[in-house]
Structure 1
Amino acid sequence: MSAIPLPEFCNSDTLIETLDEHEVLHGSDDTVRFHVPDDCFITCGSLAYLATWGRRTLRNGGEIQFSGAEDPCSYLSRMNLFEHLNVPYEEDFQRRDETGRFTPIRLIEGASDVEPTTNEILELVLHQFENAREFVPALEWVVYETIDNIRLHADTSVPGAVCAQYFPSKHRMNVAICDVGQGITSSLESQLEPWEGTGDAIKKALERGVTRDKEVGQGNGLPGALEIAKANEGTFRVWTNDVVYDIEDGEEKGFQKRPSVDGTGVVVRFDTTNPVHPSDTFLGQPGWTYIKDEAQRLNLEGRIKVAEDCISTGAREPAKRLRRKVQSLLPDMNRPLVLDFEDVGSASSSFLDELLGRLVDTLGQETFDQKVRLVNIPDEMVDMANVVIGQRVENDQDL
């Protein structure tokens, strides 16, 4: 088989159409070769689908190969696609901290994968968003419930796949969740009249309380995700069989036809400037959130190790991520949050200013002293921190 060229704009639609055109959409027991063009842009939806589709190809005895442009191939490797599809690839780049702007592809094989995968995406938010406390509860609900659907309803023999990416300049957070299982229509067979089709099945799945079995779910997963996406004025896309249902910028776009696929895919794009709280929807006030859970863990364990949380202590960006996390957790701490500098051999003034200077500036010196403790920090680092804190506070007073 000749190499299949990936579309230059490779989203779930164009990828599925390409796989269908080359007659491999429903699997292959042969070698499937892909060529990645120079300007290829690959979305989360296409990555998640390609991962779970590819795992089925491997299960069927096939093989997957990639060739083409270096930059997009490096991106595919960094997102762990090649690892999951057994594609040999020699990385000539340094991997970045995974609490950066994306969560690489994670495979969902069972119940034990749901919470850790959700938490990885939430860690990204804690490190990247200034408004994480406002944003996390709704995102946590959408991601956890939708991933859990793979486990509960997909009835798939290969893992589902999840990935996420944050685009700060566009104030956008994309999350994709896909499987190649039985699909919504088969899952809801007992809820459908004999003449109802795929579009009717999606409509049913988006109704509150509709589930194939009350013993395994209450039927609020997709309806809750849809309501949150609408309130956020974001994008919500669900596909199964030959139908795609879309919400764009909070507005319903309805149903489209495309080549029939196995399984179900959900892509949610959030506007990060417009947080939604579950209590503003039918979901109500969440009893527990990842932020509260992380704060409780720190209350018990007592510290954040700076060397483990920051890939580098020589620049502002890692410090900014850690500061955002600290600021998100502090309101739920019932004891001082400890920043442990053990194994931090050196730190730049920029790092200390971004972490400690901005924390003191935001919290105030008295609140900082009450809520944050620094341990194992060398004397010379303390001196440098005092200088940058003094400069920041003095500059703000001059304004």
Structure 2
Amino acid sequence: MSSEISTNVNRDGNILTIPSLSSPVVIGNFIRAIYQGNESGYTDFVLDFSAIEGVYPNVCAPLAGLIEYYKVNRGFSFKFSNVPEFLTRTKTLNPVDAAYDDTHRRYPLNVVWKFSSAEEVKSLVDAYLDVVSSSAVCQAGVIQGLEWCLNEVMDNVLQHADTTHGYVMGQIHNTSQHIAVCIYDHGQGILNSFRTSIHSPNNAVDAITIALKEGVTRDKNIGQGNGMWGLNNIVRSNSGLLNIISGSGFVGIRINETKTLPNIPYLSPENNCTTVDFQIDFDKGISIANALGGYEPANIRIENLEDESNNVIYKLAEKNSGTGTRKSGIAIRNEIINIRNQTSSIIVLDFNGVSLISSSFADELIGKLVVQYGFIGFTQGFRLIGMNETIEAITNRSVFQRLSVNNQDL
């Protein structure tokens, strides 16, 4: 979005005009406008969204959490005016509770989710990784790095925020080749969480800065203090972006540049709130071992696919997208390439339980994998099992045609 778009939330009595959902600055201005409206005697507000043109996680997730906070904890009411369809689809004005709705397993992106347990975190993280793996080819370490960041930040909400739940929203931007995630809670904030620790931050910015250091935690019995430090290192190694807002403090990190702001509007001394907004470029690799000081966590997602011979078994019959369309072939090929980028094990494409595939599916999956890795590379790194005669004939013809087309281009 253009930098010329206003971020000022205009208030006319109890009517608040939201100018944009593309800049996180809007959130601080929203808090200020609600405070001023309440000081003027209002508890019923109308939010006008007629001016917005796009939505981003670092605005939608905090806004969703704030609206629910004001409704539940302050007794305020909200009506919404001129809400565009694309905003309605994000559930920003009515976040989806992962405890009662498992639709995130199909497509979790572009929606604000509310989470409150370790089980919900796992389910959401798995869903995010599945859809990213099938949507884009990610360089080595990106999928594992994204998994680390999601787990650590969402767990921080459960362990340290002193609140019952958090909010998360993710997007994938294929044009700019990055994944954007924002995790928000309206809990005590980082500064307050350090009150009972050995650390003595002077202010909110100082608290965020300390939290990003290795081994810093409010309680060693709860955590080792590697989550925020690891998040910082992973994002930096990827030349990504990390913004953290907690209480009145803001710390923004892009490569080796750090920006701080000390006077961000926030809810209250008790509810400092915390927003963690990060972006990872999926076309830039990440060395997890280097980012985590030599420690490389086990890749459980890959291990769960391995058999006793350490081959990765990929069962096509279990894929919800089926084997009948070119779109499905593209999604599964992306996922296979992402697996290849995470392991040197042989990948076994298991067709058992699949009765038929389309020629376009075979071309997108097998034909283009053979072209990408070359005949020798494909035969060394992949195995095809469980094909019936029809699938085998369709695959042979599709691979022959694909190789013929590529040879003509030479």
Output the TM-score relative to the length of structure 2. 0.80
140-149 or 33-42: bigger deviation = 33-42
Aligned to 1:245: 251
Change (3 A) 1:74 1:374: farther
Aligned to 1:76: 90
- Counterpart-to-counterpart distance in 2, 1:394 and 1:194: 68
Aligned to 1:88: none
Aligned to 1:40: 53
- Counterpart-to-counterpart distance in 1, 2:201 and 2:336: 55
What amino acid sits opposite 2:53 in the alignment? C
Aligned match of 2:261 in 244, 249, 255? 255
Q: CA deviation at 1:97?
A: 9.1
Aligned to 1:278: 288
Aligned to 1:304: 315
3-state secondary structure, aligned to 1:41:
coil
3-state secondary structure, aligned to 1:222:
helix
Aligned match of 1:321 in 331, 337, 356? 331
Aligned to 2:167: 161
Change (3 A) 1:297 1:136: farther
- Determine which structure has the larger helix proportion and give its number: 1
Q: CA deviation at 1:83?
A: 4.9
- Counterpart-to-counterpart distance in 2, 1:154 and 1:169: 35
Aligned to 2:119: 112
Q: CA deviation at 1:290?
A: 4.4
- Counterpart-to-counterpart distance in 2, 1:252 and 1:324: 34
> Can you give the 5+ residue segments of structure 1 that lack an aligned partner in the other structure?
86-94
Q: What does the per-residue CA deviation read over 1:333-381, in whole Å, with 9 as the maximum and x for residues that have no partner?
A: 567231456476x63x4333111211232345574598343547682x5
Aligned to 2:242: 236
Q: CA deviation at 1:109?
A: 0.4
- Counterpart-to-counterpart distance in 2, 1:3 and 1:395: 61
Change (3 A) 1:224 1:56: same
Aligned to 2:360: 350
CA contact (8 A) 1:337 1:373 kept: yes
CA contact (8 A) 1:118 1:140 kept: yes
Q: What does the per-residue CA deviation read over 1:51-92, in whole Å, with 9 as the maximum and x for residues that have no partner?
A: 322333443355544332433334424xx753538xxxxxxx
Q: What does the per-residue CA deviation read over 1:246-277, in whole Å, with 9 as the maximum and x for residues that have no partner?
A: 11344212234221243211001122222221
- Counterpart-to-counterpart distance in 2, 1:193 and 1:225: 20
Aligned match of 2:406 in 383, 393, 396? 396
What amino acid sits opposite 2:206 in the alignment? D
Aligned to 2:128: 121
Change (3 A) 1:138 1:301: closer
Change (3 A) 1:195 1:332: closer
289-298 or 237-246: bigger deviation = 289-298
Aligned to 2:153: 146
Identity of aligned residues (%): 21
- Counterpart-to-counterpart distance in 2, 1:335 and 1:29: 62
Change (3 A) 1:155 1:310: same
Q: CA deviation at 1:103?
A: 5.6
Poorly superposed stretches of 4+, deviation over 6 Å:
192-195, 297-301
CA contact (8 A) 1:359 1:368 kept: no
3-state secondary structure, aligned to 1:236:
strand
Question: Does 2:384 correspond to 1:373?
Answer: yes
Question: Does 2:24 correspond to 1:12?
Answer: yes
Q: What does the per-residue CA deviation read over 1:167-198, in whole Å, with 9 as the maximum and x for residues that have no partner?
A: 11112211111111110011011347778221
CA contact (8 A) 1:341 1:377 kept: no
Change (3 A) 1:223 1:303: closer
State how many pairs are aligned. 381
CA contact (8 A) 1:110 1:151 kept: yes
Output the TM-score relative to the length of structure 1. 0.82
Change (3 A) 1:20 1:69: same
Change (3 A) 1:183 1:393: same
Question: Does 2:295 correspond to 1:292?
Answer: no
Q: CA deviation at 1:11?
A: 2.9
3-state secondary structure, aligned to 2:141:
helix
For the aligned residue pairs, the C-alpha RMSD in angstroms reads 3.5
3-state secondary structure, aligned to 2:306:
helix
Aligned to 2:6: none
> Can you give the 5+ residue segments of structure 2 that lack an aligned partner in the other structure?
1-12, 98-102
What amino acid sits opposite 2:406 in the alignment? D
